[in-house]
Amino acid sequence: MQLIFKAGNITEAQIVKGLLESNGIEAYAGGYYLQGGVGEIASMDFANVQVAEADVVKARAIIDEYEHGDLQTKGATPSTPSTSSIPAKPTAPTSEGRKLFLVMVISIVIGALFYLMSA
């Protein structure tokens, strides 16, 4: 495996990895655990993407297109977004969402009561 791309963060590394894989190139994104060692500080240059030696030339071409904004998805034609894909109004919370919210509120109240009783 050869280092092909140094990402600004883990999310960008995953985007590039997915882009390469969607073009038939097996890729590995690494550096996750190094970023965790820094803690709350925003870290840079830990995430990277690696590919096999045989795929380096093709991967570099795809990454160059990605970095310069020239990348086109297969079969896509440039167009303006359709308004039909935008929902007319926000959907109401599901009953599962309401249950989860209620459980969280009850847990906070119970925790606060235990804290007050122990003080």
- Rounded Cα distance, 87 and 97, in Å: 19
pLDDT of residue 43: 56
pLDDT digits (tens, 9 = 90+) for 52-105: 999 999 999 999 888 887 766 554 455 544 444 555 555 555 677 778 888 889
Q: Please report the pLDDT score of residue 11 as a whole number.
A: 85
| 20-43 confidence digits (pLDDT tens) | 999 999 999 987 666 555 555 555
Q: Which element (helix H / strand E) includes 6?
A: strand 2-6
CB 111 within 8 A of CB 105: no
Task: Look at the pTM and tell me if it is higher than 0.85.
Answer: no
Output the CA angle 34-36-37, nearest 5 degrees. Answer: 70
Q: Where are the domains of the chain?
A: 2-68
Structural contact between residues 14 and 66, judged by C-beta atoms closer than 8 angstroms: no
Q: Sign of the CA dihedral 109, 112, 117, 118? A: positive
Which residues, at least 6 apart from 7, have a Cβ–Cβ distance to it below 8 Å?
Answer: 13, 16, 29, 31, 47, 48, 49
Query: Which one has a higher pLDDT value, 107 or 92?
Result: 107
Residue 58, token pair as written in the block: 């093709």
Instruction: Please give the CATH architecture assigned to the domain spanning 2-68.
Output: 2-Layer Sandwich (3.30)
